[in-house]
Amino acid sequence: MANSFDLDGRGPNDRQLLVGGLVVLLVLGVISTALLVKSTGRLDPFVRVVADLVNVGDGLPQRSDVKYHGVLVGTVDSVTPAADGNPNYVHINLDPHYARSIPANVTARVVPSNVFAVSSVQLVDNGDGPPIRAGAHIPEDTELPTVLFQTTISKLRDILAATGRGREDKTIGILAAINEATEDRRTELLAAGAQLDRLIDDVDAIVATGPDSTTVSALTDAAVGLQQTTPELFDALQKAVQPMQVLVEQRAQLDTLVNGGIHTMNTTHTALNNHTDRMVKISSELTPVVGNLADTSRHWVPAFVKLNELSDKFFDEVWMHDRDIGNMRVNLSFTPTYTYTRADCPQYGELKGPSCYTAPLVPVRPPLPDTLLPQNYQPPKDLAPPPGTVLGENGNLVAVGPPLVNPYPNLADPNPPLPPGVSPSPPVPGSANPALEPTPQPPVIQSPPAPVAPKPWDPPAPPAGPVAPQPSGPLPAEAAPAPVITPAQPAPAITPAQPAAFGGNVGPVGSRQERNQLSVITGQPATTATQLLLGPVARGTTVSLDQEAR
């Protein structure tokens, strides 16, 4: 059967061509995989060992050299970084031809292999022993030469890092700075070198290594003798040195403090210079404030005295020192709520609101149907937002236009007529209804003037007679005019007071008007106790001022 490429009927068919192509691809894939694995060295008969190194220098890249007596005996396969206090594990592949001559007691260290400081692993010979085997762990070399060499390399690396500069560094280098500092100073440098050489020779002569006494030992003996003779002198010297020692130890903090102070002063100076006109304006506008404080200076001493007494009383009677908390008995009075009636409708001259015709005459609490109870409420399916609003993305209403306003409201009274004997309710006290009478302000109690010390040139005051003891606090006759309580006036015929309402000008219970009228009666600000005791007696009466107190 002919295939799709050869129509003369000769050669293999399509299936044979497909199978042959797959076989060729499979063979090519196997050969490529084998070559790739071969390139990684996994097919080579290496002797794989592990070196436990704490110090790996700048790092060991893959396929780094591993040398023994200067001969390349293997390469680094990979490095496992140190973790949990363990050293770095360097996986090494050794050539089997050289591994037979490497003893098992060798140690490893990291050294630079060329002038470019490329790191390599060097195996240090520690004597004869059996040949190393696969899977062996090579410890790190800790001999003195290795430690000194690694210390030198580390210091050299630090020096190079300190002297090196980045590409973005615009400063000059150390060598350029030395060149600038020593240029045209040959004579001074030679003189300084000669003086330094002479100083070193003198110090070398003083610090001798022989058994004979030297100048330093003589100075030491003299200091010991002086300390034994006058120990107070050394104690004083030590105490004198301690402040300087503390100053040297805290030099960084002192520099920071001084720099911070300088920065603060500069910032303050700049701020004052930038706001000079404002400072002048503030100073000029403070003049009436200072004058007002000076005019009322007689009230400051009594105010602070009362504050001090209040603070002492708080800590003596309220604060519990053993438990570090406060404990105070407090009387709370709650003002009852009111339902607005037709008497509280909005009025502006002759203009009245719709509620002046449709609001109930007495407080009415409409019954709440069962469907409006919280547990029974079901929102309707066709519920639409109010006119002029739309439902936003977060579920809140968003205003998009003016609300719906009915220009012709229905002013017919929908309320049933009041039963006989029930009068319409008066306006709620304390509101802005123009039908309410203005509430008189309570008397203001001024603090007594502070005592003033007599001047030496003033004549002595005549002796005062015996004074009867007075009760503490201002008397009602001294604080305000004497009030007179008269029977309540009858309510107007238009809005007679109903039994549940209050008469006169004292009330309702717990209101600000009641507290104001009780303050007028007692001559001092009414407290909760005054409302509880005097309120039931004065409620329903009319309070007025009859005559001035004498």
The values of phi and psi at residue 236, to 5°, are: -65, -40
* Domain annotation covers residue 434: no
pLDDT confidence bin for 160, thresholds 50/70/90: confident
* Domain annotation covers residue 118: yes
Q: Is the pLDDT of residue 242 over 90?
A: no
Q: Is the Cβ–Cβ distance between 522 and 476 less than 8 Å?
A: yes
Average pLDDT over residues 105-120: 82
**Among 32-46, 56-70, 174-188, which range has the highest average pLDDT?**
56-70
Per residue in 426-477, pLDDT (tens digit) is 887 766 666 666 666 656 555 555 454 454 555 555 554 444 444 444 443 3
pLDDT confidence bin for 481, thresholds 50/70/90: very low
Average pLDDT over residues 394-402: 81
Percent of the chain topping pLDDT 90: 15
Per residue in 502-547, pLDDT (tens digit) is 456 776 767 778 888 888 888 888 887 787 777 777 777 777 766 5
Give DSSP secondary structure letters for 208-231: --SSS--HHHHHHHHHHHHHHH-H
Looking at residue 435, its pLDDT comes to 67
Q: Is the pLDDT of residue 44 over 90?
A: no
Q: Is 540 exposed, middle or buried (0-12, 13-18, 19+ CB in 10 A)?
A: middle
pLDDT confidence bin for 489, thresholds 50/70/90: very low
Looking at residue 490, its pLDDT comes to 46
Looking at residue 497, its pLDDT comes to 40
* Domain annotation covers residue 208: no
* More confident of the two residues 137 and 370: 137
Looking at residue 310, its pLDDT comes to 92
Q: Is the peptide bond before 402 cis (omega within 30 degrees of 0)?
A: no
The domain boundary, picked from 162, 197, 218, lies at 162
Looking at residue 24, its pLDDT comes to 93
Enclosing H/E stretch for 391:
strand 389-391
d(CA 139, CA 105) in angstroms, rounded, equals 9
Per residue in 271-313, pLDDT (tens digit) is 999 999 999 999 889 988 898 889 998 889 999 999 999 999 9
The domain boundary, picked from 100, 134, 162, lies at 162
Q: Is the pLDDT of residue 106 over 90?
A: yes
From residue 455, how far is each of 296, 300, 301, 460, 462 by CA, in Å?
22, 21, 19, 10, 15
Average pLDDT over residues 464-493: 43
* Domain annotation covers residue 123: yes
Average pLDDT over residues 250-272: 92
Centre a 10 Å sphere on the Cβ of residue 304 and count the other Cβ atoms it contains.
10
d(CA 95, CA 359) in angstroms, rounded, equals 108
Number of structural domains (the chain) is 2
* Domain annotation covers residue 168: no
* Domain annotation covers residue 116: yes
Which contacts qualify for 221-224: CB closer than 8 Å, 24 or more apart? Answer: none
Looking at residue 478, its pLDDT comes to 40
Report the relative pairing of strands 325-326 and 71-80 from DSSP bridges: unpaired
* Domain annotation covers residue 179: no
The domain boundary, picked from 129, 162, 195, lies at 162
Looking at residue 56, its pLDDT comes to 83
* Domain annotation covers residue 32: no
Q: Quote the domain boundaries for residue 491.
A: 480-547
pLDDT confidence bin for 92, thresholds 50/70/90: very high
* More confident of the two residues 205 and 422: 422
